[in-house]
Structure 1
Amino acid sequence: MNAIQRLRIIAWLEGISFLVLLFIAMPMKYIGGDLTLMRPTGMAHGVLFVAYVVFVLEVKMAMNWSGKKTVIALAASILPFGTFFINNKWIHRP
């Protein structure tokens, strides 16, 4: 599996984990007082976030991405649905 394929998978997983954290685990904690999902979801998202950053940097070197493109790809990881946008715009190429 090459760098771009790994980034594509991690981008999807990181995006899903972020959305689960924001729209399921956090409302359960703050509205329902239920902490059941916070720790596992937060941990999974943290690990996937770090992996996404590492793989973006790996793809930057492998594909000779510009600094601007790299910064945008990294910034997308802190926005809901951001990694899906980057995946569709720059990573998902047949």
Structure 2
Amino acid sequence: MFANPVFRYRMLTLAEGWSFVLLLVFGSLLSRISEIDLVMPLGSLHGLLFVLLVVATLVIRRRLGWGLGMTLVALVAAVVPLAPFVLHRWKRAELLAAERAAEPVRA
């Protein structure tokens, strides 16, 4: 399952989206209203997931038949808050179909 690049892309999309939400809500909000500062650890996690998502987008685009325009939309979605969830929902059927097609048939 984790060897499937489409599955990895789907999971990275969701993980990166949630890490951004956590960074904005908990990192920024808690550092302003309390002494708890989670910006550095959450920011590092989000940065790592963002880089992995960019690489995964560039790897998966050919398999999904995405042109330059769709690839740019996917990359911009990684930057805009909550956009990874919108992209994931919009392309869900396409991603699931590609994921099923990439899995080896088990006897």
Q: TM-score, normalised by structure 2?
A: 0.79
**Match of residue 93 from structure 1:** 96
Consecutive unaligned residues of structure 2, counting only runs of 5 or more, are 98-107
The alpha carbon displacement at 1:33 in A equals 4.2
**Match of residue 3 from structure 1:** 5
Consecutive unaligned residues of structure 1, counting only runs of 5 or more, are none
Q: TM-score, normalised by structure 1?
A: 0.89
**Match of residue 47 from structure 1:** 48
2:8 partner amino acid: R
The alpha carbon displacement at 1:23 in A equals 1.1
Cα distance in 2 for residues equivalent to 1:86 and 1:53: 14
Cα distance in 1 for residues equivalent to 2:32 and 2:7: 36
Q: Is the 8 A contact 1:3 1:62 kept in 2?
A: no
Cα distance in 1 for residues equivalent to 2:83 and 2:33: 25
1:28-85 CA-to-partner distances (Å, cap 9, x unmatched) read: 11333431x1121111000000001001111112222011100000001111111111
Residue identity over aligned pairs, in percent, reads 30
**Match of residue 18 from structure 2:** 16
Aligned residues: 93
1:5 partner amino acid: F
Larger radius of gyration: 2
**Match of residue 30 from structure 2:** 28
